[in-house]
Amino acid sequence: MKLLLSNIITGLDDGQKELEKLAVQKLKIKLNNIKNLKIVKQSVDARKKPGIRFVYSISCEINDGIHISDNPDIRILKHVEEEPLNPGDRQITGRPLIIGTGPSGIFCGLILAQNGYKPVIIDRGSKVEERTRKVEHYWKCGELDINTNVQFGEGGAGTFSDGKLTTRINDSRCDKVLQEYHRFGAPDEILYRSKPHIGTDILKRVVANMRMEIERLGGTVLFDTKAIDINISDGKLCGVLTDTHSNIDTNVVVAAIGHSARDTFEMLYNRGVPFQQKPFSIGVRIEHPQSLINTAQYGEASGHPALGAADYQLFHKQSNRTAYSFCMCPGGLVVASASEQNSIVTNGMSEYKRDRENANSALVVSVGPSDFGTSHPLAGIEFQRIWERLAYKAGGSSNHAPVQRLEDFMDNRAGGLGSVKPGYTGKTRCADINECLPKYVTDSMKEAMAYFDKRIKGFGMKDALLTGVETRTSSPVRIPRNDTFECIGMAGLYPAGEGAGYAGGIVSAAVDGIKIAQQIIKTYAVPR
């Protein structure tokens, strides 16, 4: 019999032996009756300082017939058979095509490949090794490649990231995502930590391993290949034209293009694909010394090796806006993330160890269609562009990101650097970030600051460093789908992931890709 035991509480220095002891106490049986004890979930309870603890859920097996005491923390785990995926009978012309190797595209491709569908996957950007070289060149010299950058290329937008695998969606496919990442090289702990993360150094290997597996299963992955047009006949998709001048004939196309493929959105819009405006958030990256965040969150236990670098999540609801922290990267870097010339865009990343000096997080404020100025479905993109170009200008029109001490930001003056040095991957210049964002956004950020400082002691330190601007928090558009996940009015086109407005983050994008693969399998026969 397999059991799940929850609410097992240990100190920071306790190990497997203590877990076994507590399992024995909870079950009220002898240790030699317990087999295969495994951690299912580990979270940190830092509400009481001192006295930070780990809270575990663990699974184990016991022999049938052993009496188990009645305890709400003990549950029998039943084996649930995965529902078989039975292929449909419609015919695919050619092979299914996936545009994009981000989490939604690669997971869609993996599931199709695992089921014999041999997908073709294209990405406008380069393979991860070449992509890393081009991205580092941009960070060093300011020369941007508009097809291979932090947004575009193998692994998609999340390749240069913290690789946080937390999500707010509740879908059983999330486990599949974690298991596959683990199978392709992510550390064991992503399977049980409550806030798992991979880190960009490991993630790069993982995405390359996934691509090689798809190829091994008969799929084809083409890099430096951009979809530049779609062919339509009688309202149905029948192929995609690429910039390598090849036409890929197919009646099944998954558009997993991410939230930054503005030219591709425009092409699809001009071809009659329906788009809707969608709210998102804009603001800045804020950096603090990681040691300050550790002390605020863990008190005396700050620096304990079992805890690692602390994170935070902040949220301040105002009358009609919300200011909040987003995509926090402990011990990380602020990433120069533009995908268009003459723009500055920030984001954050960390390596697995999260051992850089600064903690960074986006500090953003919600914006929506009423702010975009027109009802054009792509107006949100134009809205992002305005602030990205103002940031470029504020940085001296030479690919320097504008940076500002928090105190100077509050007082609307450019100022200079303080004790927190920029952890930005490119060059920076001191400037007034108030000039790169709408006043209602900077006012909301300022209003929230006193509250955030109460939640995280020291958050409002005068030298905290802001870098502008953060505009790509989620997609500014949504492509409406029907109940078989096809684009409304265009049979055969499957808009997927974050760019289409169905995900926000690595795991939810991957889950959306899996959902679409499963739908394609249910609809179409395995191509011969």
| Interacting residue ranges for ligand FAD, rule: CB under 6 A | 99-105, 122-125, 150-153, 156-158, 160-164, 226-227, 256-258, 261, 264, 327, 335, 337, 347-349, 497-499, 503, 505-506, 509
Widest distance between CA atoms in the chain: 75
Which residue, 330 or 460, has its beta carbon nearer to ligand FAD?
Answer: 330
Extract the runs of DSSP E, i.e. beta strands, from 256-357.
276-277, 280-289, 315-317, 322-329, 333-336, 346-349
Min CB(12)–ligand FAD separation in Å:
25
| 3-class state of residue 316 by DSSP | strand
Alpha-carbon span 223 to 9, nearest angstrom: 48
Of 361 and 434, which CB lies nearer to ligand FAD in the complex structure? 361
167 vs 434, beta carbon nearer ligand FAD: 167
Question: Measured from the CB of residue 151, what is the shortest distance to ligand FAD in angstroms?
Answer: 6
148 or 295, CB closer to ligand FAD? 148
Q: How many residues are recorded in the chain?
A: 528
Identify which of 277, 337, 310, 282 has the alpha carbon closest to the alpha carbon of residue 146.
337
Minimal distance, residue 296 CB to ligand FAD, in Å: 21
**Closer residue to ligand FAD in complex, CB, 336/449:** 336
Phi, psi values for residue 136, rounded to 5°: -65, -35
User: Any idea which residue has 């569908």 for tokens?
Assistant: 117
CB of 58 to ligand FAD, least distance (A): 26
C-alpha dihedral sign at 328, 333, 334, 339: negative
Task: Count the Cβ atoms, other than its own, within 10 Å of residue 272.
Answer: 12
Rounded to the nearest whole angstrom, what is the least distance from the CB of residue 201 to ligand FAD in the complex? 13
Shortest approach of ligand FAD to residue 75 CB, angstroms? 29
Q: Is the bond into 206 cis (omega within 30 degrees of 0)?
A: no
Looking up tokens 């939604």 gives 104
DSSP one-letter string for 433-490: GGGGS-HHHHHHHHHHHHHHHHHSTTTT-TT-EEEEEE--SS-SEE--B-TTSPBTTB
> Among candidates 315, 328, 317, which has minimal Cα distance to 473?
328
Compute the distance between CA of residue 158 and CA of residue 53 in angstroms, rounded to an integer. 31
- Which residue's CB is nearer to ligand FAD, number 103 or number 395? 103
Nearest approach in angstroms of CB 59 to ligand FAD is 26
Minimum Å gap between C-beta 172 and ligand FAD is 18
CA–CA dist 145, 130 (Å, integer): 12
- Cα–chain center distance at 64: 43
CB of 158 to ligand FAD, least distance (A): 3
Closer to ligand FAD at the Cβ: 56 or 324?
Answer: 324
**Taking a C-beta distance cutoff of 8 angstroms, is the pair 479, 73 a contact?**
no
Smallest gap from Cβ 156 to ligand FAD, in A, equals: 2
* Dihedral of the alpha carbons of 299, 300, 306, 307, in degrees to the nearest 10: 10
Q: How far is the CB of 1 from ligand FAD (least distance, A)?
A: 36
Cβ-contact 250, 95 below 8 angstroms: yes
Comparison of 225 and 251: residue with beta carbon closer to ligand FAD: 225
Please report how close the Cβ of residue 437 comes to ligand FAD at its closest, in angstroms. Answer: 19
Distances (CA, A) of 195 to 44, 163, 202: 9, 11, 17
Kindly tell me which of 26 and 226 has the beta carbon lying closer to ligand FAD. Answer: 226
Is 263 buried (19+), middle (13-18) or exposed (0-12) by CB count in 10 A?
A: middle
Which residue, 156 or 402, is less far from ligand FAD as judged by CB?
156
Return the number of the residue (122 or 456) whose C-beta is nearest ligand FAD. 122
| Residue with smaller CB distance to ligand FAD, 431 or 500 | 500
CB atoms within 10 A of CB 244: 11
